Structure formats: structure tokens, C-alpha cells
């Protein structure tokens, strides 16, 4: 039996935040959009901290009811010390990735887009001025393809090359039950842990959800050894029990990449390395990239730009958005690794600690304060 072939304006690979944000913008413009997702549901059981700054809900017109937990501050723990930095208003929300993706997918469908789950993309080829997307026993035609299917993306690796160990971080995480001690002492707070007790190089976290918490840590792939030991150290701080499966995931920490777009194929989200090199945050940047990819594509279908210019326009949008920040974050990450600069020591400086808190709740871009941080760090390391 031959392959069935259906025609769409755009085929999107992956029903994560990048793919769904892109599809929504395209569907609103009455373009024929198909999303292909290998899991049984969009972003099914995707584990991640799931923090999204409040302004993103407004920017993407997402109701607060989609969120699980309101965040007004950050608890920073380093060694035997801890501090709470609270803000005057809600700064963001923790979301359950599966429920969040269900909402985003429902918007796409309401606008006429098609979401097919349990359908794995095998390959993308070009023939007669069209992209042929082979998935399972079906084949789809599209003028443009957006690959937003994560760090393991086959299509992404063909375009940008493979991520190396120097480009990757590794996270370990579990979703576990809260206890009274934790819930009573951490109202509207996310928690980050700094120091070698909690991660070999990186940080640990506890992000509350409805009745559960996501607990985990991240580090560079090159330093990822005995991570479950560090996870236990984090959990015992609050007498929490790891009573759920522990899972690992790669996190691209590449900084800005230019080879994420060619004629007819754009990469977005983790597939394109759209993850903060310092924090591993990806939802915000993935959604912004998905929207930018859609804007570039819409320009082509509205006859405002030529097909050959879509990739260039998309890259230009990325450069003007968060690529500058990623470049500075990557520089700071490399400097920290080479010089052994420890965030667990820096947080003892109140002004640096407040800047770090604002950065981790996404109220500010800490890389714009590098001269200030450098001077304070110099005082910490040399003057004591």
C-alpha cells in the first residue's frame, strides 16, 4: 500500500510550547497547519520546572487559570544559609507542562489547525518545490516545515549539526508529594539551591505545583556524575521523600545558534537551542521563537517576502530578541567554569543575591549587570 499524501501550508514537528505557539499564530491567519507529535498527548508527562513569568501570560493571552501555582518570590539556599526575596506582586506562575500544552493545543484546534498525536516524524525531504514529511505510514506535503521537537530532533541535528557534550546540560527531576513542613514554610515561593552539596556545577530547585512539587537539579553534561545523590541532598532539606520515578533529560546550553534555519525548514525551541545557558529555562524562549517563526512564515504567505528570505528574516528576529542575552549568558557560564566562580559564594553578597533572585524569576536580565556583578564578585573573592 502506498503512502497517503496530504497537503498543508505548514507542518510543525512537535507539540511543545514552540510548536504550539507557532501553530496558533499561523492558524489565526487561516493557514493550513498540521502539528505532528510522537507522544500520546502534546508534551505528555514532560518534566520540567515549568516556571513562566507573569508578563508572558499577557503577551500570549493565556488565562491565569491555566497556571498551577502563583510565585511572589524566591528562597535561595546555599550551604547552611538561606534567604527569602519577596516581591510586591506575583512575578510568575508554575505550570504543569501537559495541562499547559493541552490548553495551547486546544487554541490551535479552535483556529482550524490539526494536531496529530502518536505520529513520529521519520524524515523530511524536498521534491518539486515542496517539503515531504514522512511520519509513520503517512506522508505530508508542506511549503514550510517547523521542527520544534526537542533536543533529540533528527531534523534539527541535520540542519544545525549534533549537540556536543560541551553544548549540553543534564537535568534530573522527579514529581513528588508535598509535606506539611514544606507547604507551611514556602507559600508562593520557588526554591533554588546553590553549592556543591546540591549540584556538581549548576543549581538545584524545588518548584511547587498543585499538591505536588517538581524537584531536581541541573549541571553540565561533562560534570554529570552521581546526580541522584545530589537529588537526595535537596529532598532531605525539607524531609521530602522521592516517591516517584526519577527521570533525566538533556538541556541544550549552546548560546545563540545561527544554523537553525534553511529554505523551507525553521527550527524553534530546544531543537534550536533556545534555552537559557545559565538557568536552563526554555518555555519562554521557545514560545517567543515559535511566534517569530510564524511571523516570518506569514510574511511569505501574504506575499510580503520571498521564500528564500524567510530563514534570514527569522534569524534577524532572533538576533534582535534574546540572542544577545544568550551570548552574554554563555560567556558568563564559560567564565564561571574556567575560573571556578561559585554562585554559592556570590549569594552571600546581598546586592548580588537580589540580582540573582530577580534573574531567576525573570524580572531582569542579569547579564546587563555584568560590570556591577564583576565588581561585587571581586570584593567577595579578594577582599572577603
Q: Which residues pair with 215 in a beta bridge?
A: 174, 206
What was the pLDDT predicted at 2? 46
What mean pLDDT value characterizes the chain?
A: 92
**Which CATH topology does 71-90+168-252 take?**
D-Amino Acid Oxidase; Chain A, domain 2 (3.30.9)
Distance CA 293, CA 296 (A): 5
Give whole-number Cα distances, 222 to 27, 164, 165, 297, 335, in Å: 41, 10, 6, 37, 16
Which secondary structure element, helix H or strand E, spans residue 97, and what is its range?
A: helix 97-110
pTM confidence score: 0.94
Residues of the chain within CATH 3.30.9.10 domain(s) are: 71-90+168-252
Confidence tier at 223 by pLDDT (50, 70, 90): very high
Note the residue count of the chain.
384
What tens digit of pLDDT does each residue of 81-105 get? 999 999 999 999 999 999 999 999 9
Interval 275-302: pLDDT, tens: 999 999 999 999 999 999 999 999 999 9
Q: How far apart are CA 192 and CA 354, in angstroms?
A: 13
Grid coordinates 515542496 are at which residue? 130
CATH architecture label of 4-50+96-164+257-324? 3-Layer(bba) Sandwich (3.50)
| Spatial distance between the Cα atoms of 330 and 351, rounded to a whole number of angstroms | 22
Grid coordinates representing 67 are: 497556571
pLDDT band at 346 (very low <50, low <70, confident <90, very high): confident
Pinpoint the residues of the chain covered by CATH 3.50.50.60.
4-50+96-164+257-324
378 pLDDT higher than 80: no
Question: How big, in percent rounded to 5, are the helix, strand and coil portions of the chain?
Answer: 40, 25, 35
Mark residue 195 as left, alpha or beta (left: phi above 0; alpha: psi -120 to 50; beta: remaining).
left
Beta strands in 72-180 (DSSP E): 73-78, 81-86, 92-94, 114-116, 121-126, 131-135, 138-147, 168-177
DSSP-derived letter for residue 162 is P
φ, ψ dihedrals at 210, nearest 5°: -70, 105
Question: What are 297's three cell numbers?
Answer: 512564515
Amino acid at each position: 500500500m502506498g503512502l497517503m499524501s496530504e497537503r498543508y501550508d505548514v507542518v510543525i514537528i512537535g507539540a511543545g510550547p514552540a510548536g504550539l505557539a507557532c501553530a496558533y499564530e499561523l492558524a489565526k491567519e487561516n493557514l493550513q497547519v498540521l502539528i505532528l507529535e510522537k507522544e500520546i498527548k502534546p508534551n505528555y508527562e514532560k518534566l520540567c520546572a515549568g516556571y513562566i513569568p507573569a508578563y508572558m501570560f499577557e503577551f500570549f493571552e493565556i488565562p491565569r487559570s491555566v497556571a498551577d501555582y502563583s510565585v511572589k518570590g524566591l528562597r535561595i539556599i546555599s550551604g547552611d544559609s538561606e534567604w527569602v526575596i519577596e516581591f510586591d506582586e506575583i512575578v510568575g506562575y508554575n505550570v504543569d507542562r501537559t495541562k499547559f500544552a493541552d490548553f495551547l493545543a486546544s487554541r490551535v484546534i479552535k483556529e482550524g489547525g490539526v494536531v496529530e498525536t502518536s505520529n513520529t516524524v521519520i524524515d523530511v525531504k524536498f521534491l518539486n518545490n515542496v517539503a515531504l514529511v514522512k511520519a509513520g505510514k503517512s506522508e505530508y506535503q508542506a511549503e514550510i516545515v517547523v521542527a520544534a521537537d526537542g533536543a533529540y530532533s533528527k531534523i534539527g541535528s541535520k540542519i544545525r549539526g549534533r549537540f556536543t557534550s560541551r553544548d549540553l546540560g543534564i537535568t534530573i527531576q522527579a514529581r513528588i508529594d508535598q509535606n506539611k513542613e514544606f507547604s507551611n514554610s514556602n507559600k508562593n515561593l520557588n526554591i533554588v539551591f546553590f553549592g556543591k552539596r546540591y549540584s556538581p556545577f549548576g543549581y538545584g530547585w524545588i518548584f511547587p505545583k498543585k499538591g505536588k512539587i517538581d524537584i531536581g537539579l541541573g549541571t553540565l553534561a561533562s560534570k554529570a556524575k552521581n546526580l541522584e545523590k545530589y537529588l537526595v541532598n535537596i529532598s532531605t532539606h525539607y524531609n521530602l521523600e522521592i516517591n516517584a520515578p526519577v527521570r533525566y533529560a538533556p538541556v541544550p546550553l549552546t548560546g545563540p545558534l545561527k544554523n537553525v534555519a534553511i529554505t523551507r525548514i525553521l527550527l524553534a525551541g530546544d531543537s534550536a537551542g533556545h534555552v537559557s545557558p545559565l538557568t536552563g529555562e526554555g518555555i519562554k524562549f521557545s514560545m517567543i521563537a515559535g511566534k517569530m517563526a510564524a511571523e516570518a512564515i506569514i510574511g511569505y504567505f501574504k506575499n510580503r517576502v520571498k521564500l528564500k528570505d524567510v530563514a534570514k528574516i527569522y534569524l534577524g528576529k532572533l538576533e534582535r530578541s534574546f540572542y544577545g542575552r544568550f551570548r552574554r549568558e554563555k560567556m558568563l557560564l564559560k567564565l564561571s567554569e574556567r575560573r571556578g566562580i561559585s554562585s554559592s559564594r556570590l549569594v552571600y553578597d546581598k546586592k548580588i543575591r537580589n540580582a540573582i533572585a530577580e534573574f531567576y524569576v525573570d524580572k531582569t536580565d542579569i547579564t546587563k549587570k555584568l560590570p556591577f556583578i564583576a565588581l561585587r564578585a571581586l570584593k567577595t573573592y579578594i577582599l572577603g
